[in-house]
């Protein structure tokens, strides 16, 4: 999908979280191409940047770019892992904030409860869950 990215700060391979539309963007003639394809809270990866430069009140100038949803790491119950299947994300309840896997279990940046994803690969076959859950660490591709 296409969007507009900062002409000065972005490179192919970089990721960003779409935070939504600023007030100044509401009157911009480019808002549809800039914001129209992106979903708030999603993480995107830049795969191609075009040379054409457009003015922007926030960044000064922007370029047209091809982006795709970025792969994410999540912890997921081992019993629910099915390779090549379309899966539905649900948070794993956890309050152990000093756990090394905490950011992969609860509120994972870039995914919301009920979002669809596909498993890219199993990153860690069995993680040491301090709550005793049987979990794998997965690299997943969100379906937007």
Are the CB atoms for 86 and 116 separated by under 8 Å?
yes
Q: Among residues of the chain, what percentage have pLDDT more than 90?
A: 90
| Boundary of a domain, candidates 19, 53, 69 | 69
83 pLDDT exceeds 90? no
Distance CA 37, CA 69 (A): 11
Are both 63 and 82 inside the same structural domain?
A: no
Angle at 10 between CA 66 and CA 35, to 5 degrees: 50
Distance CA 143, CA 118 (A): 7
| Boundary of a domain, candidates 34, 51, 69 | 69
Are both 61 and 79 inside the same structural domain?
A: no
Domain count, the chain: 2
Are both 132 and 77 inside the same structural domain?
A: yes
Are both 61 and 97 inside the same structural domain?
A: no
Are both 65 and 83 inside the same structural domain?
A: no
Q: Provide the whole-model pTM.
A: 0.84
What one-character DSSP code corresponds to residue 91?
P
Are both 87 and 46 inside the same structural domain?
A: no
Structural domain for 53, as ranges: 2-69
| Boundary of a domain, candidates 47, 69, 91 | 69
Q: Which of 40, 35, 42, 39 is nearest to 4 (CA)?
A: 35
pLDDT at 10: 86
The 10s digit of each residue's pLDDT in 5-57 is: 999 878 999 999 999 999 999 999 999 999 999 999 999 999 999 999 999 99
Are both 28 and 58 inside the same structural domain?
A: yes
The 10s digit of each residue's pLDDT in 100-138 is: 999 999 888 899 999 999 999 999 999 999 999 999 999
Other C-beta atoms lying within 10 Å of the C-beta of residue 139? 14
Are the CB atoms for 7 and 59 separated by under 8 Å?
yes
Q: Containing H/E element for 34?
A: helix 31-35
């Amino acid at each position: 999908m296409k969007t507009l990215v900062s002409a000065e700060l972005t490179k192919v391979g970089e990721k960003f979280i779409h935070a939504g539309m600023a007030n100044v963007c509401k009157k911009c003639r480019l808002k549809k191409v800039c914001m129209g394809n992106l979903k708030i809270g999603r993480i995107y990866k830049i795969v191609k940047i075009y040379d054409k430069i457009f003015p922007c009140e926030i960044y000064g100038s922007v370029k047209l770019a091809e982006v795709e949803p970025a792969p994410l790491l999540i912890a997921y119950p081992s019993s629910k892992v099915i390779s090549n299947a379309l899966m539905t994300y649900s948070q794993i309840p956890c309050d152990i904030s000093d756990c090394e896997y905490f950011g992969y279990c609860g509120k994972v940046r870039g995914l919301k409860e009920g979002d669809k994803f596909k498993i890219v690969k199993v990153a860690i076959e069995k993680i040491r869950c301090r709550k005793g859950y049987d979990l794998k660490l997965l690299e997943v591709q969100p379906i937007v």
